[in-house]
Every structure is written in C-alpha cells, then in structure tokens.
Amino acid sequence: MPRHGTMIPDTGAGRRRLMVGVKMSANPPDAGFFAAYTVKELAQGLRDGTFTAAELVREALASIDRLNPVLNAFVLVDREGAARAAAQADADFKAGTDRGPMQGIPVAVKDNIDTAGLVTTVGSAHFKTHVPKEDAECVRLLKEAGAIVIGKTLTHEFAYGPTADRSLQGAAKNPWDPSRMSGGSSGGSAVAVASGMVPLALGTDTGGSVRIPAALCGLTGFKPSYAAISASGVFPLSTTLDHVGILARSAEDAAALFPLLRDPAPQPKHKKARTSTLLTGWIPTGSFGASDTAVVTEVRQFAEALFGQAMRDVAQVAALTEVFASAIAAIQSAEAYEVHAERVAAHPELFDPEVLERLQSAGMVKGWEYVRALKQRKQLQATLAVFFERFDLLAMPTIGIVAPPLQERTLTLEGQEAPVARTLLTMTRPWNVVGLPAITIPAGQVDGLPVGLQLIAPMGWDAWLLDVAATLQARDLA
C-alpha cells in the first residue's frame, strides 16, 4: 500500500485523497500552544519544572486571544478564575501535594454543563444571564483533580443539533477550514482542542455530539458507557440518551482524564488490548443513508490496515438501522419536548427558529410511540450483547462525509439530496440508544479535511476501549 505522501486520484470524481497510513500533520494550518504537547508531556513538564500551571494558563489565554476571534470556540473565558486555580496548583506542587495527572492542566467545558459562578447559557437566549450556584458533578471532579477550567465552549442551542451553527453566540468554525462546520453539538469543545487552545475539553453526546465534531475536526472523541460519567448538573436534552464525553488529541490523552470522572462502580475485567488478534466486525454503511464514497473508502482502508484479517463484515448490525432510527427519534423527541414544553408555549421567540421547529415537531410524538421505543431500546441492547459474544469490537466510519459548509442544510451525495443533520447523525446515534462506549479516532483526510473511524465496545468496557484506541494510534504513528 502506498505510504508516506503517496497521492492517487479518487475513482470517478477526479478528487485526490490521502492514502491510508500516510504521515500527515495532526494539526490544522494555524494551531495554538497545546497542539504540540500530549497531556502526559504537560503533566511531566509541570513536575520537572519545564512549565508552571500559571505559564500553561498564560499560553492557553494567548492561544484563545489569537484564534478564538476567527473560530468562535469559547463563549466565555474565566481569566481570573483560571489564574487563581493555576496559583493553587503551583502552590500544591511546591508543597509536595500531587493530585494526579490533571493537576495544573487547562480544560474547557461545554456551555450546557454547570459551572458555579460562571454564566452557563446552553447556547440560548432563554439562559443568557443564567449563573449556576453549583458545579456539575463532572466539573467538581475536574477541579478536585486539580484541573483548571479555562472557560466555556459553544454549544448548538440546547445541544439540539449536530452542526453547532445555531447558537446564541453564533457558529463554531472548523479549524481546518473556517468556512466549514465544526460539527456539533459540542462544536466549541472540539474546535478548542483541535486548534490547540486547550489540551482537553468536556462535551456531551446524545446522538453523536462528541464524536461528530471530533471526527470533523480531526480529534479523538470518546463517549463512554451510559452513566459512566455523571450527568448531574448537565442541562438535559434526552435523559435516556445523554452522555458526558471527552474531546482530546488522542485516546491516551482522553484516558488520562476519564478515570478521574467515571463512576466509581467496579469495572469489568478486560482483555489485553492486543489489536492484532481483536476480532472486529465492520458494519457496512449502505443502510445508513447516502454518504461520500471517498470518505467510506478511506476509513475502510484505514481500518483494514489496523485490523487486517481480524476484521469481518457484519451486515446483521446494519440491518437494525431502521429500528435504531425509530427508537432514538421517539425517545429523544419526547424527552426533549418534555424539557422545553413550557418555554415553547411561553416564549417561542427566544429560540433559534430551526431549534424551535425541531421542538414543535418533537411535541407530536405520541405516548405509545415513546413506550414502544423504550422497549425497542432494551431489545437492541440484548441483540448487541449477542454480537459481542463473537466480536471484540464493532467498527464503521464515524460520519460518511467531511465537514459541510457553514449553514448548509442539504448535500448531493451519490446523485441524491441528503439532509446535512441526518447525514451527520446516522452512524453515531445508534450507540446512544444502546448506551455502549464508542470512540472516534482520526482516520486520514479526504479533500484536505479530516475523517474518523468509530469503534464500539461492550457495555462497561470503557477503559479497555481507550486502551485499544491508544494502542492503535501508537501503531499508526510508528
């Protein structure tokens, strides 16, 4: 297979794409300080005197000041609070107190996650002056571990959309091409990390809202098992489907943070992450709707290079597409409308028109449809559990397209028009229905824009999945 810069024409359309395994820059054209460091390197530097926490905060603020006016990742920057937290982290180091790998590390937090004393707008005019009195549980744990909350990142209004261009604060812009979407709803968090403003960020994922922007921005995006990270203090979209997740430059970086946030319940015993012998089920994408052939081909070849003959097609999972789609549509719609019914009735003018239209449509879901969808969810969980008796992992593209232009709402794919929102969501949302851990890792580029490979593991195998993904990434870079 051609490597190290070999370019070939894509069949049919005259497009040129980067071959699987080609060494390419992991950073967008203009990136900030943290694009050059892993979390492990930052943590070591804080301990050997290469950096101080105060210096890392200054670097974060300088990167934000330079890049955020163009990319619109941050909607609030807590300069004074970050400076105080950095001073405390440095004082703790000097006193010999070490709280672990996140001490002194700047982290961004999505604007639907409560932060005590900081405005949390959820991307909406309804909450433009809302200041929570308490931190969300995940933020409390971040601070307890010594991490520094540098600020709040843009979310699609009420996290109800995969494009991150419908928000009180505008649109988060893709650092690879600011004329294109970041993906959402955790778009600001993805842009903040991909552009090197911060090394890590928290997001939320109800139908793909961590993995979609991670894939479009060239990051690792991790959605753990349902409730593995507490959603207490997170503004709900759909409580049955909501997950708190992590956006990072690598699975290794995400793995540095996840143990500090996860529920302390005992974890299952894990197999060793020997990727050469992992039996991996590749899910064909045809039943998931129209996609870009170049993207699917790029990701498939990337997966083949990683897993070799241990990867087999599993068309049976793809056959469940309609049930997945039906279940998530009813559950998310019914639960989202329950959250917003009074606001829709009293102050519809405060919503973004597109979000309002979605909510009004969501209100049409009938009670029996919601109850049926919850039953379907349980059936799907049982079905997937059977698949994992045979396979270690399931794999597929994270998204079947590259980042669309900002504000675009339809694309032409395979000769047919496809709605942008549905196309972004179709391959990620099944794993919210069943609550399984899923991760996207960078899988090359098409037309100079990132694409992602999505890996799905059995329920509760979160740490193992991160270990597998980190092993795969290390091998790809070797």
Element (H, E) at 442: strand 438-446
Question: Of 185, 195, 291, 333, which residue is the catalytic one?
Answer: 185
Q: Find the catalytic residue in 182, 195, 209, 238.
A: 209
Beta bridge partners of 1: none
Which residues 6+ apart lie within 8 Å of 28 measured at CB? 175, 176, 194, 195, 217, 218
Residue 56's nearest CA partner among 78, 87, 13, 20 is 87
Closest CA to 472 of 348, 349, 311, 317: 311
Q: How far apart are CA 422 and CA 432, in angstroms?
A: 15
DSSP secondary structure code for residue 14 in this structure: -
Q: Which amino acid is at 295?
A: V
Active site residue 25: no
**Cα maximum dimension of the chain:** 65
C-beta of residue 317 within 8 angstroms of C-beta of residue 281: yes
The token duo for 319 is 């056959």
Report the 3 state secondary structure along 178-199: CCEECCCCCHHHHHHHHCCCCC
Q: Is position 333 annotated as part of the catalytic site? A: no
Residue 463: its H or E element: helix 462-477
43-466-144 Cα angle (round to 5): 45
- Cα–Cα distance for residue pair 206/241, rounded to 1 Å: 5
Q: Is 294 helix (H, G, I), strand (E, B) or coil?
A: helix
Return all residues near 413 (Cβ < 8 A) that are at least 6 apart: 290, 291, 292, 400, 401, 423
End-to-end, the C-alpha distance of the chain in Å comes to 16
Do 19 and 6 touch, CB atoms closer than 8 A?
Answer: yes
Q: Any residues with CB less than 8 A from the CB of 335 and at least 6 apart, and which?
A: 236, 237, 238, 239, 240, 241
Question: Is 209 among the residues known to form the active site?
Answer: yes
Q: How far is Cα 449 from Cα 401, in angstroms, rounded to an integer?
A: 10
User: Taking CA 153 as the corner, what is the angle to CA 325 and CA 58, rounded to the nearest 5 degrees?
Assistant: 150
Query: How many whole angstroms separate alpha carbon 387 and alpha carbon 383?
Result: 7
CA distance 344 to 348: 5
Encoded tokens for 400: 């079947």
Catalytic residue numbers, as ranges: 110, 185, 209
